[in-house]
Structure 1
Amino acid sequence: MTETSRVVPGVTSDNVLMAMEVVRREAVRTPMVASAVFDEIVGRRVWVKDETKQRTGSFKFRGAYYAVATASSDQRNAGFIAGSSGNHAQALALAARLHDASATVVIPSDAPASKRSAIEAFGARIFPYDRRRDRREALVQQIAYRSGLTVVPSSDHREVIAGAGTVAWEMLQEVNDLVAIVVPVGGGGLAAGSALAALGHNPRLRVIGVEPATADDTHRSIKSGRLTSIRPPDTIADGLRHTEPALIPFGINKSLLHDVVTVPEGAIADAMAYLWRYYRTAAEPSGAVALAGLLQVADRLPDGPVGVVVSGGNVDWPDYRKLLDIAMDRTERNPHAAPVLR
């Protein structure tokens, strides 16, 4: 038994490596980019892993593709279903199409139009639901049972976690002396996969999760030591509006994450502005959360380069422009200083 096998039975850093061999067939090896000006702001080298350039516009394609690729032929013949805020739904729709399978997705009725139109373009069947009234997972299970579909959760799935971990694996292949990796946390699959990849590379490497302050279910859960639910959160980071961590990722994250920090809404918008100004990356709010977290914890990290996962870029243009206009004006008043978090 390897050192990493003790974490969660069936999910280890070896699983991330196995996922890498499959995911690389279709996933884009997204760029690691740096900015000398932003490095000066933070006081260290910062490498941004730009998953906005991934197929379907987010890291979610990795996990969905690996889950579908490793499913049985009977499961692929019957089709797949998932509940999602939008990015995982797009990812599953494309992954299913690449395997000549059908996909059904249950998404919020207020999901960004850009995400819904992309899902439709990939040929998936859509069931909308009300985030504040309906229980999404119950709807998913009902439809799956009625139609004989295989559920591929956005986070609570071993293959999805392993596939998501290939983001960090690629980062460590390209920059092997990272002292920390900072990732957004929603359901927790990306953080869990990244933590497993880091453990396999260097057990001392820190993986730090970041959540919006209004959507701090993982922060609260890790602090209490048990799954803790919150009310449906109100945050611009629509991909991180979870009310409770997913079970399997939580088992990994509570053991392996160095910390989970929370950031206010203004800091998320500021991070979107920094990403556009210094990296020419158009990140959705959920995708910019990790950079906002780095600005909060940078002075507490060991000396050395840090990797930041920009997890996605699927945002409606009017919303993006509105957020960016405000944040660009605010950050341009003092472009060489990190924002003050309140």
Structure 2
Amino acid sequence: MEYRPPRTITLDDVRGAHKMLSGIARVTAMESSRHLSALVGAPVHLKCENLQRTGSFKIRGAYVRIAGLSPEQRAAGVVAASAGNHAQGVALAASLLGVRSTVFMPVGAPLPKVAATLEYGANVRHHGAVVDETLRAAIAYAEETGAVFIHPFDHPDIIAGQGTVGLEILEQCPEVRTIVVGIGGGGLAAGVAVAVKALRPGVRIVGVQAAGAAAYPPSLAAGRPVALDAVATMADGIMVGRPGDIPFAIVRDLVDEVVTVSEDQLSSALLLCLERAKMVVEPAGASPVAALLAAPDAFEGPVVAVLSGGNVDPLLMQRTLRHGMSAAGRYLSLRLRLTDRPGALATLLGVLSVVDANVLDVSHVRTDPRLGLTEAEVELHLETKGPEHCVTVGGALREAGYMVIA
């Protein structure tokens, strides 16, 4: 049986949302990237939704959805489930509209995101270890109390609100040929596709998923939403195990291609955004940049990459940047064995100094039973200048007679 969504979303819906959001959502900046432009061989622009109110595009859809409620529904309040961006969008939108909001967040959700959601006016409840468990708790709360459940992506008003990003892209970069946007449940990609394809059907739209949470490729192959058995990615903003019913049909019909990116590519993209574009972007927001890095020749320019959010936990940022530096060949960890005698470490550091490797951390192991009586194992963390420099460092150590284990 052919899959059929509950209803479609039109350009008029997106235009109506755009009027509703006037004075509420920011018209976020469009910044050019010389580095990415040189890599792709065509102009590349960044649509900076990481600079949106609440730090992501989510305020757009959340406000349109809640503003469309009846007086009776508003009086009952709203409820949502989220690990971060949707939580903050719903909290602020509800506060602006004078509606009571309750947001369920996973136990262990990043403290900055919890604090921001509280500051925007929501009553935060912690439930479950993962968002799926939190989602069930929020739905149960809605059934018990009569509060209106605000879905993060599977509702026409949500999609129409997110589609206003597409209208802004066409206004800010009318010559655009390709739009690259991250996909989780599909609300943002679907909304952008509705707006852009109605006005500029020749513009190519590419969706990007993290390889560890890529539900769209098998769903598109099956012709219906398919749930993944498990999801795992640093990009929590697009870590969704099943496409939404409504956005799926739009993505199927209007999005030209869905590609996947690895964790290494995500971390490298986040690092590039920080260093080259001076943009703080979360891994999900960096996914379009990761796609450009993975296949720069695959995109016709001008290209617009949507940086969907910048709400990254500082601890995750630290780990991701280290991972990104490692993936870019600028952070090298290795273990080696040397004779356990006075001055041995100084000699080793001298070898590293000659090849200009910056030592970040050193640790010794002397009690491993695999070591000889006069041996010690040293673990080194080095800052390097790229893949070629890593090879040079390893070669210098081997030439000096050291046994490099890893």
Q: From 141, 144, 149, give the equivalent of 1:143.
A: 141
Q: From 200, 203, 220, give the equivalent of 1:202.
A: 200
| Matched residue SS, 1:62 | helix
- Deviation, structure 1 residue 7: 9.4
- Is 1:164 the counterpart of 2:162 in the alignment? yes
- Is 1:73 the counterpart of 2:71 in the alignment? yes
- Deviation, structure 1 residue 130: 2.3
- Is 1:85 the counterpart of 2:83 in the alignment? yes
- Deviation, structure 1 residue 131: 4.2
Cross-structure match for 1:338: none
User: Is the Cα contact below 8 Å between 2:40 and 2:299 reproduced in 1?
Assistant: no
| Partner Cα separation in structure 2 for residue 236 and residue 132 of structure 1 | 13
- Deviation, structure 1 residue 249: 0.5
- Is 1:126 the counterpart of 2:124 in the alignment? yes
| Partner Cα separation in structure 1 for residue 288 and residue 94 of structure 2 | 29
Give the TM-score taking structure 2 as reference length.
0.77
Give the TM-score taking structure 1 as reference length.
0.91
| Matched residue SS, 2:271 | helix
User: Is the Cα contact below 8 Å between 2:292 and 2:299 reproduced in 1?
Assistant: no
C-alpha distance 263-179 of structure 1, shift in aligned 2 (>3 A): same
Cross-structure match for 1:3: none
| Partner Cα separation in structure 2 for residue 88 and residue 232 of structure 1 | 21
| Partner Cα separation in structure 2 for residue 156 and residue 7 of structure 1 | 10
- Is 1:323 the counterpart of 2:320 in the alignment? yes
User: Is the Cα contact below 8 Å between 1:87 and 1:314 reproduced in 2?
Assistant: yes
Q: Which runs of 5+ in 2 are unaligned?
A: 331-384, 388-406
Identity fraction in percent:
38
- Deviation, structure 1 residue 319: 1.7
| Partner Cα separation in structure 1 for residue 111 and residue 288 of structure 2 | 24
Q: Which runs of 5+ in 1 are unaligned?
A: 1-5, 336-342
| Partner Cα separation in structure 2 for residue 334 and residue 134 of structure 1 | 40
Q: From 178, 184, 187, give the equivalent of 1:186.
A: 184
| Partner Cα separation in structure 2 for residue 251 and residue 133 of structure 1 | 24
User: Is the Cα contact below 8 Å between 2:11 and 2:194 reproduced in 1?
Assistant: yes
| Partner Cα separation in structure 1 for residue 29 and residue 18 of structure 2 | 16
- Deviation, structure 1 residue 42: 2.0
| Matched residue SS, 2:286 | helix
User: Is the Cα contact below 8 Å between 1:232 and 1:241 reproduced in 2?
Assistant: no
- Deviation, structure 1 residue 298: 3.5
Report 1:8-27 matches (<5 A): 9-27=7-25
- Deviation, structure 1 residue 79: 0.8
Per-residue CA deviations over 1:154-188 (Å, capped at 9, x if unaligned) read 00011110100111210111111111111111110
RCO greater where, 1 or 2, for CA within 8 Å and sep 6 or more? 1
- Deviation, structure 1 residue 106: 1.8
Report 1:193-272 matches (<5 A): 193-272=191-270
| Partner Cα separation in structure 2 for residue 297 and residue 197 of structure 1 | 26
User: Is the Cα contact below 8 Å between 1:16 and 1:162 reproduced in 2?
Assistant: yes
Amino acid at match of 2:161: G
User: Is the Cα contact below 8 Å between 1:57 and 1:314 reproduced in 2?
Assistant: yes
Q: How many residues align?
A: 329
Amino acid at match of 1:323: T
C-alpha distance 334-203 of structure 1, shift in aligned 2 (>3 A): farther
- Is 1:313 the counterpart of 2:295 in the alignment? no
Q: From 79, 99, 118, give the equivalent of 2:97.
A: 99
Amino acid at match of 2:95: R
Cross-structure match for 1:109: 107
- Deviation, structure 1 residue 10: 4.3
Amino acid at match of 2:311: N
- Deviation, structure 1 residue 239: 1.5
Amino acid at match of 2:203: L
| Partner Cα separation in structure 2 for residue 85 and residue 134 of structure 1 | 10
User: Is the Cα contact below 8 Å between 2:106 and 2:126 reproduced in 1?
Assistant: yes
Per-residue CA deviations over 1:242-285 (Å, capped at 9, x if unaligned) read 11011110111111111111111010000001111221101011
Cross-structure match for 2:40: 42
| Partner Cα separation in structure 1 for residue 255 and residue 16 of structure 2 | 22
| Partner Cα separation in structure 2 for residue 182 and residue 126 of structure 1 | 33
| Partner Cα separation in structure 2 for residue 270 and residue 250 of structure 1 | 29
- Deviation, structure 1 residue 324: 1.5
Instruction: Name the structure with the higher helix share.
Output: 1
Per-residue CA deviations over 1:283-312 (Å, capped at 9, x if unaligned) read 01111111111233432233x201111011
- Deviation, structure 1 residue 39: 1.1
Q: From 49, 53, 56, give the equivalent of 1:55.
A: 53
User: Is the Cα contact below 8 Å between 1:52 and 1:310 reproduced in 2?
Assistant: yes
Q: Give RMSD over aligned pairs.
A: 2.0
- Deviation, structure 1 residue 127: 2.5
Instruction: Name the structure with the higher strand share.
Output: 2
